[in-house]
């Protein structure tokens, strides 16, 4: 049970697509949670397991509403849906205005980090100095930041990494990985980003290359036909997934080794869903 947080410092290098991709390739059971307060995309782009649209009323907002008095792991299954391919997802808020009702970001992070028998891939979207989803970072085993090759975006990444390290202070914080999204034949871009970080004396736990591959990305935009395993996107993602999964394996605890901590029926509002 590990919580992996995916985010970008600026720009749009496809964090949601990468989160869907990594969750699909993850070697253990996983749940993808859209935790971007600016609005979720998964329910709009991915069909359900039976081909029908996802229920827009089921997701992070309904989970938070049901757990307004007490968040507990069983809520994740109750408020997740299965998309085509079998991946479980907790879809994000529909609009930024809806996100104002989500106030338990720190508690959500702690719950996702302790989910029995499953790892959680949380798509935080773009993070900044005051974005509320930052509160989930402290509970994560690994924070994965995505950046493209636009120079200004790399500079913003450098600044965000520095602030993250300062924010954790003496606390170790999560392992930090940087994924550079660049054309498959531009592996040199990773070295260029590494040089920018080295010049600022910023160390990261991993620096990786994910192929910018529009043809591969369409599989995670709802066009799920063909053989995604042959695309540059999937082939470049697999070794990153393998490394992250190996590093986070010590945080994983099988479900049978944990106790169900759902509240008793008399502790829950009558209109609140409880696990059967």
Report the pLDDT averaged over residues 38-54. 92
pTM of the predicted structure, to 2 decimals: 0.88
Query: How many residues make up the chain in this entry?
Result: 276
- Examine residue 268 and state whether it is found in any structural domain, yes or no: no
Q: Which domain holds residue 199?
A: 3-253
Q: Tokens 């980003």: give the residue.
A: 193
Question: Which CATH number covers residue 55?
Answer: 3.40.50.300
Q: How confident is the model at residue 223 (pLDDT cuts 50, 70, 90)?
A: confident
Report the pLDDT averaged over residues 40-68. 93
| CB-neighbour burial class of residue 239 (10 A; exposed 0-12, middle 13-18, buried 19+) | exposed
C-alpha dist (Å) from residue 79 to 3, 29, 65, 126, 135: 18, 17, 10, 24, 21
- Examine residue 269 and state whether it is found in any structural domain, yes or no: no
Distance CA 182, CA 190 (A): 8
What percent of the chain stands above pLDDT 70?
A: 87
What confidence score (pLDDT) does residue 71 get? 94
- Examine residue 265 and state whether it is found in any structural domain, yes or no: no
Report the pLDDT averaged over residues 12-34. 93
Rg (CA), the chain: 18
Query: Which backbone phi and psi does 221 adopt, to 5 degrees?
Result: -120, 20
- Examine residue 238 and state whether it is found in any structural domain, yes or no: yes
Instruction: State the DSSP H helix or E strand holding residue 162, giving kind and residue range, or none if neither.
Output: helix 151-168
Mean pLDDT of all residues belonging to the chain: 88
- Examine residue 163 and state whether it is found in any structural domain, yes or no: yes
Q: In what order do the strands lie in the sheet with 30-34?
A: 81-82, 88-90, 30-34, 119-126, 3-8, 142-147, 175-182, 206-211
- Examine residue 120 and state whether it is found in any structural domain, yes or no: yes
What confidence score (pLDDT) does residue 129 get? 87
Tens digits of residue pLDDT in 80-100: 999 998 999 999 999 999 898
Higher-pLDDT residue of 57 and 251 is 57
- Examine residue 16 and state whether it is found in any structural domain, yes or no: yes
How many domains is the chain partitioned into structurally? 1
- Examine residue 260 and state whether it is found in any structural domain, yes or no: no
Question: Diameter of the chain by CA atoms?
Answer: 60
């Amino acid at each position: 049970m590990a919580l992996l947080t995916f985010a970008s410092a600026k720009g749009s290098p496809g964090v949601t697509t990468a989160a869907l991709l990594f969750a699909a390739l993850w070697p253990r059971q996983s749940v993808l949670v859209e935790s971007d307060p600016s609005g979720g995309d998964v329910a709009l782009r991915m069909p359900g397991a039976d081909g029908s649209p996802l229920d827009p009323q089921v997701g992070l907002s309904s989970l938070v509403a049901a757990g307004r008095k007490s968040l507990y792991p069983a809520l994740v299954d109750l408020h997740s849906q299965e998309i085509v391919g079998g991946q479980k997802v907790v879809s994000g808020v529909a609009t930024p205005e809806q996100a104002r009702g989500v106030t338990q970001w720190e508690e959500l992070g702690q719950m996702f980090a302790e989910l029995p028998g499953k790892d959680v891939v949380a798509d935080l979207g773009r993070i900044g100095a005051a974005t509320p989803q930052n509160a989930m970072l402290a509970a994560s085993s690994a924070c994965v930041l995505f950046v493209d090759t636009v120079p200004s975006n790399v500079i913003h990444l450098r600044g965000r990494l520095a602030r993250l390290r300062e924010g954790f202070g003496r606390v170790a914080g999560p392992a930090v990985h940087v994924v550079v999204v660049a054309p498959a034949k531009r592996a040199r871009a990773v070295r260029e980003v590494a040089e920018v970080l080295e010049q600022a004396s910023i160390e990261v736990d991993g620096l990786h290359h994910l192929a910018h591959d529009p043809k591969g990305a369409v599989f995670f935009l709802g066009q799920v036909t063909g053989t995604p395993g042959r695309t540059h996107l999937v082939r470049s993602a697999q070794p990153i997934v393998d490394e992250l999964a190996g590093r986070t394996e010590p945080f994983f605890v099988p479900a049978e080794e944990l106790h169900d901590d759902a509240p008793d029926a008399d502790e829950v509002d009558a209109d609140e869903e409880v696990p059967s």
